[in-house]
């Protein structure tokens, strides 16, 4: 299906649902609204499509419960292969860790207006963020020091390891927040602060430090802040990865 380049505000959607009727209804609804939609009947097929570069979605719309690869495991695999937003669909409340790992939960049944609001990217609402856009993504000083100490390939490997480790810790953090495990949130924050700080990944290290300061027995609003930090970390990770791809593209 053609990805509508003329409608820049409309994201390309990858829809994953094992139920044929639900899949076709949602795909038709989105297509008639002008979206470019790719469909997959299960998680494994979706990952194959991404690996083969058959689609480049900005949004993944996935059923929360499917046979085979599903739930938080599918979300983790999707995060590795795509920077798309992940919206999970459920007819009942899914597991807390699935809700935390996804970006948005959409509960069935829903109508066309719900879709319109969900995908209205032209007038986004202001989002509170603890990420400082003025803070360097990577410290130029630390990057220079590493380049003076070792070959460029070794420097590239270090940052690739940092990005991969950050991705794993972000998914572990989502589970810890869903379980309201403040001690684990602090532990993961400390690890992110240390690992990213050593490599000069300043934004991610700063967010890790904020997570580390979560009280052992937090109030509800303090764990809500951890959820905001989780979202900010995902954004910082994406920016870091794109910057490093550009820095080491040669």
Pair (110, 176) in one structural domain: no
Pair (19, 113) in one structural domain: yes
Residue 62 inside a domain? The answer is: yes
pLDDT score recorded for residue 82? 87
Kindly state the percentage of the chain with pLDDT values over 90.
Answer: 28
How many independent structural domains does the chain possess?
2
Final residue of a domain: which of 86, 118, 150? Answer: 118
Instruction: Please state, in angstroms and as integers, the Cα–Cα distance from residue 60 to each residue in 79, 115, 206, following that order.
Output: 10, 13, 29
| Intra-chain end-to-end CA distance of the chain, in Å | 33
Instruction: Please state, in angstroms and as integers, the Cα–Cα distance from residue 132 to each residue in 138, 185, 212, 225, 244, following that order.
Output: 13, 21, 17, 15, 19
Instruction: Please state, in angstroms and as integers, the Cα–Cα distance from residue 237 to each residue in 83, 122, 138, 191, following that order.
Output: 10, 24, 11, 15
Residue 133 inside a domain? The answer is: no
Q: Residue 114: which CATH number? A: 3.40.50.2300
Pair (36, 106) in one structural domain: yes
Final residue of a domain: which of 69, 86, 118? Answer: 118
Residue 135 inside a domain? The answer is: no
Q: Which domain holds residue 224?
A: 140-247
Final residue of a domain: which of 118, 149, 165? Answer: 118
**Phi, psi (degrees; rounded to nearest 5) at 16:** -120, 115
Residue 127 inside a domain? The answer is: no
Q: Residue 161: which CATH number? A: 1.20.120.160
Q: For 204-236, b where at least 16 C-beta lie within 10 A, e where not — what string?
A: bbbbbbbbbebeeebeeeebebbebbbbbbbbb
Q: For 37-46, b where at least 16 C-beta lie within 10 A, e where not — what string?
A: bbbbbbbbeb
Of 99, 77, 101, residue with least CA distance to 90? 99
Q: pTM for this one?
A: 0.53
Residue 114 inside a domain? The answer is: yes
The model's pLDDT over 104-155, given as tens digits with 9 standing for 90+, comes to 887 776 665 666 666 665 444 445 566 776 778 899 899 999 999 999 999 9
Pair (242, 152) in one structural domain: yes
Pair (206, 159) in one structural domain: yes
Residue 124 inside a domain? The answer is: no
Pair (239, 152) in one structural domain: yes
The model's pLDDT over 152-204, given as tens digits with 9 standing for 90+, comes to 999 999 999 999 999 899 889 888 887 888 889 999 999 999 999 999 999 99
Pair (113, 208) in one structural domain: no
pLDDT score recorded for residue 23? 85
Residue 190 inside a domain? The answer is: yes
Residue 53 inside a domain? The answer is: yes
């Amino acid at each position: 299906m053609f990805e509508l380049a003329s409608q820049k505000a409309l994201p390309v959607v990858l829809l994953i649902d094992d139920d044929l009727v639900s899949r076709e209804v949602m795909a038709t609804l989105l297509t008639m609204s002008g979206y470019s939609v790719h469909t997959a009947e299960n998680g494994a097929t979706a990952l194959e499509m991404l690996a083969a570069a058959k689609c480049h979605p900005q949004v993944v719309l996935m059923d929360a419960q499917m046979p085979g690869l599903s739930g938080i495991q599918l979300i983790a695999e999707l995060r590795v292969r795509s920077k798309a937003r992940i919206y999970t669909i459920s007819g009942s409340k899914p597991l807390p860790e699935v809700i935390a790992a996804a970006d948005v939960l959409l509960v069935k049944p829903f109508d066309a207006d719900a879709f319109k609001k969900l995908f209205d990217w032209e007038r986004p609402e202001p989002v509170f963020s603890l990420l400082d856009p003025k803070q360097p993504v990577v410290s130029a000083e630390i990057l220079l020091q590493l380049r003076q100490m070792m070959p460029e390939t070794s420097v590239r490997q270090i940052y690739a390891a940092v990005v991969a480790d950050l991705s794993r810790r972000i998914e572990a953090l989502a589970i810890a927040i869903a379980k309201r495990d403040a001690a684990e949130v602090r532990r993961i924050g400390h690890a992110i602060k240390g690992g990213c700080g050593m490599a000069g990944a300043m934004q991610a290290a700063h967010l890790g430090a904020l997570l580390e300061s979560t009280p052992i027995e937090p109030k509800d609003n303090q764990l809500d802040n951890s959820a905001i930090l989780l979202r900010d970390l995902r954004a910082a990770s994406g920016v870091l990865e794109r910057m490093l791809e550009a820095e080491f593209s040669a």
